[in-house]
Amino acid sequence: MSRFALSLSSICIVFALGAGPVAAQLQDVEWNESLNLIANPDSMYSQTGSDPAIPEPLSGMLAGSGYSIGGSVTFASGAPNVTSDVQGSYQSGLFYLEGSAYGRIDFEFAVRLVTTPPISVSSVPVNVHVQGTAGVTGNGDLFAAAWSSVNIATGSGPLGGWMVQVDNSSGQTTDNFNESPQYQLAPDTVVFGDKTASASIQGEGLVPGSSATATAWVDPIIEIADEPIPGGGGASYRDFFDIEFADGYAALDELAIQDATWEEIKQLYR
């Protein structure tokens, strides 16, 4: 079953599978993505979502005598990361130039029991490694901004949130986060996650010779900690527990993730 919600700036596709009853049912991945380019009010290029008619990565360009603006949104085939980027330049012939690229993935995961451990376990250590970058170029004649973020939470409240944001008029043009917190999670507790990469460029009353770029990238890694269970005779948590991800994120038994594109992955779960 698929549900589509369309607008000029974004499309949301929710994939819902009919599955048998399981503990703490996970909701399938939700993607939001858009690319919008404008050169003067009467020239517009727009791509949204992951409709099969639109190839991925989303990418496009507007170009003419004395100007260009292009961008892309990429969901990597080898890992569940997101990259958004926009590039623009101006010499003459325009009054207004704008571009934006936005990609977000909402996902869920839970700790699942694989086989019964030798001792009762009420919580399992889970390592969450989160990375994100944001970078821009240009001197502000074409304003450029970028941000990336990761957030995770349970039904009881937030577990962690990380974000970096930069622009080319503030003096800080690059930033990143790279953190590795550990959480104690009870088996079958659903964790909600979202990750976003957004980049944009905008200019009005343009100065000849202006150029700018904006790029954002984000990627989390989530795994059971390779640690011994206290009182378990040296047995590791990894021997008895695993991470189950929402369908469409990393649960790709039918298709090797290194050989898949996000377009193919999404169509598995439509």
pLDDT at 42: 82
pLDDT in tens, 76-115: 665 668 899 999 999 998 999 999 999 988 889 999 999 9
Residue (of 27, 251, 249, 222) closest to 125 by Cα position: 222
Chain segment 257-270, per-residue pLDDT in tens: 444 455 555 555 44
Residue type, 197: A
Q: What pLDDT, on the 0 to 100 scale, is given for residue 12?
A: 32
pLDDT value of position 259: 47
Mean pLDDT of the chain: 82
**Comparison of pLDDT for 132 and 8, the residue scoring more:** 132
Query: DSSP code of 51?
Result: -
What pLDDT sits at residue 238? Answer: 94
Q: What is the dihedral sign for C-alpha 65, 57, 77, 149?
A: positive
Q: What is the mean pLDDT of residues 142-157?
A: 96
* Contacts of 156 by beta carbon, 8 Å cutoff, 6+ apart: none
What DSSP character marks residue 136? Answer: E
Cα–Cα distances in angstroms (integers) from residue 70 to residues 35, 56, 100, 180, 215, in the given order: 9, 15, 9, 34, 12
Average pLDDT over residues 58-65: 89
**Average confidence (pLDDT) over 175-204:** 96
Categorize the per-residue pLDDT at 159 as very low, low, confident or very high, splitting at 50, 70 and 90: very high
pLDDT exceeds 60 at position 123: yes
Q: What span, in angstroms and rounded, lies between the C-alpha atoms of 125 and 111?
A: 9
130 falls in which pLDDT band (50, 70, 90)? very high
Three-state DSSP class for 194?
strand
Report pLDDT for 135.
98
26-40, 44-58, 256-270: segment of lowest average pLDDT: 256-270
* Banded model confidence at residue 51, pLDDT cuts 50, 70, 90: low
Burial class for 211, CB neighbours closer than 10 Å (0-12, 13-18, 19+) = middle
Confidence category of residue 215, pLDDT binned at 50, 70, 90: very high
Tell me what pLDDT residue 100 has. 96
Please write the tens of the pLDDT for every residue from 3-27.
222 222 232 323 333 333 346 788 8
